[in-house]
Amino acid sequence: MKSKKLSMLLFTGIFMGIVIGLVISANMNWMVKGIASDRASANVALGSSEPVPQELLGLQSLSKAFVSVAKEVNPAVVTINSKKTVKQNFRHPFMNDPFFRQFFQMPEQQDYVMRGLGSGVIVNPQGYILTNNHVIADMDEITVTIERVEHEAKVIGRDPASDVAVIKIDKKNLPTIKLGDSDKLEVGEWVMAVGSPIDVILEKTVTAGIVSAKGRSLGAGLGNGQLKFQDFIQTDAAINPGNSGGALVNLRGELVGINTAIVGQANIGIGFAIPINLAKSVMEQLISTGKVRRGYLGVQIGDVDEEMAESTGLDKPRGAYVQSVVKGGPADKAGIREDDIILKIKGTDIITRDQLTAYVASLSPDARVDVELWRNGSSNTVTVHLGERPSEESLDSGGSVTEKAETLGLEVQDLTPDLADQYSLPSDEDGVLITNVNANSPAERKGLQRGDLIQSVNGATVKSVREFKAAMGKVSAGSVVRIRILRENMTFTVYLRIPKEKE
């Protein structure tokens, strides 16, 4: 009996201890923590069947898109090697001594081989490759590397004004790339750059970034002054020397640009590409005819600044200001007038004058396009039958103020009361305002500055861009022009020689 009581008490004590332990562990969250830890471990365990969070699914989809595009595009991007042999004077301390030179039979010149590296994009299975003009210009020998095999290439055509060139290799059934629509490209959109940076051992390097901006211009000095049509796509996808001529593609695997330029000597996240719509127009003409015909509007234009936008009632600075209209030209016939602001062409927004120039040049001569204008505080649309842009030589000999001013490194604009106030010029003075002076240009070397007022050209008073154009038209290339300048309260004269070739 006594032993039964002891057994009962012992059983009761053990039971009560278990109950009390469970209560304490529950209150202290020991059990919950243990279960959570197991679950957390399961989340990171390999082969887990737990669902992937939605945000990670999105990142995985983006990553797969990059992989898919790289696989699709890579086969159509090639490495281009070029070389040129030039004569170089042989320098030696005794070279001025005829006896020494004859006795030792030392040459006065020796051959020096210049080598170039770039990239290209196969655009036709019959061997046509799109690249930059500066990659292959004036080279004696050009080779294309495909799958580590070199192929000799010949130049089909090149266009320094747009920095576009087409070469061809004797190989068929090549992989090609789809051409996109660069007009539809948006700032902030993902893009990928493919090319051969630095050296051939890094061929088919893929980098990614976004479209940083559109409609960029890098100034008149690019391409030794030959690059006239600048409407670059800016991207932070890594672009380095050797990437020139390579592909800029969107996440649909479409070619939207040809990588062309960088700021500085290496990648700092600022690269530039020619829009494919411009490159395509040039490429097709080079392949079919070997030369390029461009659309022509027949206007002299400038950028719209804040003061001009405010004075004309525009919501913000945009469009291209018509400084003058070529008499009898396409714009003149369509009713475009001096002081109009061109806002759109074919529905495409115009932000800067360089964008307008490049866009019109990409259109076919004889095309009919709708042009939206801002005039007297309201917009209206006219239809222009484009003409064919004259050659640069014809434009020069014709006395175009834009072309001749650019050779001097000047950008000019009519003086308005707002601009006179901005640059502290007397409001009753007449003249043409210098709005920009290009670096290392003849005008800069002579000390001309932004804000200077041109009062006369070779003694002829100029009160407007139109009169400045007329005065400059009388000055031939290679001759000296005398320009009277007003700066603050001081007047002085500068003498500038108009280069025979644009600088």
**How high is the pLDDT of residue 256?**
97
The number of CA neighbours under 13 Å toward the Cβ of 101 is 12
To the question of domain 76-169 being in CATH 2.40.10.10, the answer is yes
Residue of 82, 119, 162, 163 marked catalytic = 163
The superfamily (CATH) of domain 399-497 is PDZ domain (2.30.42.10)
Q: How confident is the model at residue 268 (pLDDT cuts 50, 70, 90)?
A: confident
Quick: pLDDT tens for 152-189.
Answer: 999 999 999 899 999 999 999 999 999 999 989 999 99
Residue 480 CB: number of other CB atoms within 10 A?
10
- Angstrom CA distances, 192 to 37, 66, 238, stand at 41, 8, 9
The percentage of residues in the chain with a pLDDT greater than 90, rounded to a whole number, is 39
- Listed range (114-128, 334-348, 480-494) with the worst mean pLDDT: 480-494
Fold observed for domain 178-288: Thrombin, subunit H (2.40.10)
Tally Cβ neighbours within 10 Å of residue 440: 9
Two tokens at 66? Answer: 């990059």
Catalytic residue among 182, 217, 244, 362: 244
Three-state DSSP class for residue 235: strand
Q: Do domains 76-169 and 178-288 have the same CATH topology?
A: yes
Q: What is the mean pLDDT of the chain?
A: 81
More confident residue, 423 or 161: 161
Domain boundaries, the chain: 76-169, 178-288, 295-388, 399-497
Most confident range (mean pLDDT) of 24-28, 36-40, 144-148 is: 144-148
**Domain at 295-388, CATH homologous superfamily:** PDZ domain (2.30.42.10)
Q: Angle 381-353-230 (CA atoms, 0-180°, nearest 5)?
A: 125
Catalytic residue chosen out of the listed positions 82, 119, 134, 414 = 134
pLDDT tens sequence across 356-378: 988 898 898 989 999 999 999 99
* Residue the block writes with tokens 């040129």: 84
362 given a catalytic annotation: no
Annotation marks residue 244 as catalytic: yes
User: Would you call 134 a catalytic residue per the annotation?
Assistant: yes
